[in-house]
Structure 1
């Protein structure tokens, strides 16, 4: 017997499969392992809705804030800037500034400007509204995914469903506390706003109604630490969380957790300009509609940094910092559907799937040995190596194994054996024609190759379509099946051919084709 390159490749593939799949079997702390999906290890399934209309309202306020800052920086006098019925309205006091203001308003994309006798009304176009709603959903998906990644959850699924719905699956969530923390992190808007306190009317805040406050261009917000305490702030923020670049947990002089945040260059400039001309006044730090602090401005604050203090635990401060770093949600989300999959149910699923996998594999092995003899054993060996390669590839790629994924492996066992059946039948046909074994193997594998390639290519195309357009469960099925197909090309076509070449001389000497190929007819060779 002499080793050939096909056998060497099969040995290398076998060693690769064993080494990289072993950590998944032993669950050792070292090495990459396959992550179990929600249906196998338990976890949380949620379907979320997105209030896309709120994204439009936020954009209107952002436009108003930008207009106000532009007017202040260019010494343009405007009055009564506010948001009314989805429009930014204000009055230009000096007609000589109209050209400068008009040029600036033209740079704001997706808006329509109506101006008459110095009175302006800015609205968002219908096309921009629809685009903004779609962006709100896409941004929510990206933001939730970033938060969960920083939270430390392995392989969370965050996918769009329909137009304005989001599917979230969190494997590994086992306790009510973990579930509550994850839900709060996902749903938290984390909308940071720096807002000027209305010093002229703040003393009357408890006597004002929401409508009356709105008539002055103000909002009434409650204090985060003392809900009974109210703050009167200007409706249009000085700046918002879109200018935030970082948020980290720190500690104050009393060793209590706080969140230190930083602003980008544009935010730092706005912040510096406002604090410079507002010395002696208060600036409210607002998070998700609640005032966390309203310190008096003692001097111009440069550098674009600030601090959010509150009655936090370390875990709460960390989660808030994650939410701020990952970005505020453009639109609030709400729960449409929630269900929990317990770890015991996941364990039952694994047992049932393994039973199906093992029993199906054993039956296939018995059939192959009974029908093809030693060739059947070689085919079975190739399938075993194939499975190890699939698991090793999934572990290295960090893929998630789900119930459909296990179904894909079971299905692939049949497909892999099918390739060996085609090969064995073609080889047997050539041997019956009286052709020598070496040529029979060459002709048999060559003729089988065309059918196997056609079949595998069409299956890979189907798997690609399933992966691109399918959801999490379907993707898992497509991944395992496509990996199996690629692995079988190596084991079934290359590996088994190499093993037969290794034993060719022995087979020809023995002439015992029944033992080697399960042939029942006498061969004239």
Structure 2
């Protein structure tokens, strides 16, 4: 076996060493987990540590890899909720907020339209009657000027409202394109609020994702019960708007009277000294949407209710050229400079935004409360005892699978079967190393994927060893037979494993929840098993041949 370059052999063993190093923290799971939690808490506290945190930090060396596989809900225990968001509620709120604008716009045409009255109508529809029917068309055209373009990829070229006339009345409702965009924004806003609420309690690896058109799946490992999770989600975020006294990089700056020091959300080492009393709060905010400024650059447009509009207008008139802090949960998410008096409660935030950033900022501005009522369709509490039982069951299944595979390989191929078992151990270590590095969450179906991989991993070794046997029967020397076995079996190995890999990819993109967990570990396992069977096994065999120089081999 002289055809393997030394650099390739060294690279294989380097990968094996790294895999073992990055998988090792999972053998000391509780210690490493406490170390990581303490490190995160100390960093959040600015470097100061309590005695308990210092003790937890010392349980694992800082220089060693500390990534561990996150355990899913079924392994750690926790709460599971499936919520339905009533997106139609947002349509009614949008239309109700539009009525003052329509009324104010028609005041300019009082001589043509006469008196303006809002009429009873279904939710999500605004009907307006005027006392002078002759001015109906002019009134419709005037209200149409309130329409703005829909800011979404699917709504390009469409306006947000449709204005028509019916039985002598003006009818205003959201356009279909705006309804679709509103649904997207409502779900996105709900996801953002829920994620922020859940993250505050320090839970590990929550799953918060959209399912279908109007549902959200929430799985939070480590939380006490589904009822506790429902209470947590219902908490309202605190959104306020404050005058800015000054900006500093000193985290220890002393606020003046009636001031407070707040960190910037996305600007490290930046702190704002703001007045404690806000000018307006999130309770006064009725809407915030991504938009474009007069130069066509992405921006964020916001709207206050009449009370907030009056307070905001008075403040901006008296503070032109000064920054204005938008604070969410005691963090400054933006501090725009007031360019001019902003009457009517409608303003725009400009800056070096991309479309994605302006959309995200709009979501944050609206994140003061859930945008629509949520109905919980499914709720489950999984106790930690059940999670521990699942882990033990997974361990037993993995040990049994390993023992059976090892017994079969050693019985069939003797010493070379032992080499395959060693490669299988490296394969499992590589799977855990990759899962730890990616921060992937391991679930019970994921354990099933790993167990399945153990059986599939030796398929490649069987193909290689059977090929070596054929070459030995043909009279080849041990070294030549091994070279031919590994070389000519490669195409068959790739073909056999590729179909399984494609299946795992399809399951990942099409499936959800447990199916995706199974697909992740199965896909990673297929890739690592090809590497260990072809390269790691060959490196082990090469060590054996170079050490013993056998005249004959038995496979």
Gap regions ≥5 residues in structure 2: 37-65, 150-158, 242-282, 291-298, 316-340, 347-362
Structure 1 residues 125 and 46: CA distance shift in structure 2, 3 A: same
TM-score normalized by the length of structure 2:
0.64
Q: For residues 225-273 of structure 1, what are the alpha-carbon distances to aligned partners after superposition, in whole Å with 9 as ceiling and x for unaligned?
A: xxxxxxxxxxxx97415379xxxxxxxxxxxxxxxxxx97644798775
Give 1:184 deviation, angstroms: 2.3
Q: For residues 438-484 of structure 1, what are the alpha-carbon distances to aligned partners after superposition, in whole Å with 9 as ceiling and x for unaligned?
A: 33222211221111111222111111111111112111111111111
Within 5 A, what are the aligned runs for 1:224-373? 239-242=285-288, 266-267=302-303, 274-275=310-311, 326=367, 328-373=369-414
Greater shift in the superposed pair: 19-28 or 130-139: 130-139
Give 1:66 deviation, angstroms: 4.5
Match of 1:502 in 2: 543
Assess if the C-alpha contact under 8 Å between 2:197 and 2:235 holds in 1. no
CA distance in 1, matches of 2:527, 2:457: 10
Q: For residues 138-161 of structure 1, what are the alpha-carbon distances to aligned partners after superposition, in whole Å with 9 as ceiling and x for unaligned?
A: 553454334434543222222344
1:470 to 511, 521, 536: 511
1:46 aligns with 2:81: yes
1:63 aligns with 2:98: yes
Structure 1 residues 50 and 243: CA distance shift in structure 2, 3 A: closer
Structure with the greater alpha carbon radius of gyration: 1
Q: For residues 148-191 of structure 1, what are the alpha-carbon distances to aligned partners after superposition, in whole Å with 9 as ceiling and x for unaligned?
A: 34543222222344443332211111x35xx5443123245769
Match of 2:497 in 1: 456
What SS does structure 2 have at the residue aligned with 1:33?
A: coil
1:113 to 139, 158, 163: 163
Match of 1:442 in 2: 483
1:482 aligns with 2:523: yes
Gap regions ≥5 residues in structure 1: 195-236, 245-262, 280-299, 306-321, 518-525
Match of 2:127 in 1: 89
What SS does structure 2 have at the residue aligned with 1:513?
A: coil
Structure 1 residues 490 and 75: CA distance shift in structure 2, 3 A: farther
CA distance in 2, matches of 1:74, 1:384: 81
Q: Which has the higher contact order (CA 8 A, sep 6+)?
A: 1
Match of 1:20 in 2: 22
CA distance in 2, matches of 1:457, 1:62: 56
Match of 1:425 in 2: 466
TM-score normalized by the length of structure 1:
0.68
Assess if the C-alpha contact under 8 Å between 2:140 and 2:164 holds in 1. no
CA distance in 2, matches of 1:117, 1:421: 81
CA distance in 2, matches of 1:421, 1:73: 86
Assess if the C-alpha contact under 8 Å between 1:242 and 1:328 holds in 2. no
Greater shift in the superposed pair: 180-189 or 400-409: 180-189
Match of 2:553 in 1: 513
Greater shift in the superposed pair: 18-27 or 157-166: 157-166
Give 1:61 deviation, angstroms: 2.1
Assess if the C-alpha contact under 8 Å between 1:105 and 1:113 holds in 2. no
Q: For residues 85-104 of structure 1, what are the alpha-carbon distances to aligned partners after superposition, in whole Å with 9 as ceiling and x for unaligned?
A: 23223356895974872451
Greater shift in the superposed pair: 146-155 or 453-462: 146-155
Match of 1:9 in 2: 11
Assess if the C-alpha contact under 8 Å between 1:58 and 1:330 holds in 2. no
Match of 1:317 in 2: none
Assess if the C-alpha contact under 8 Å between 1:52 and 1:136 holds in 2. yes
Alignment coverage as a number of residue pairs: 415
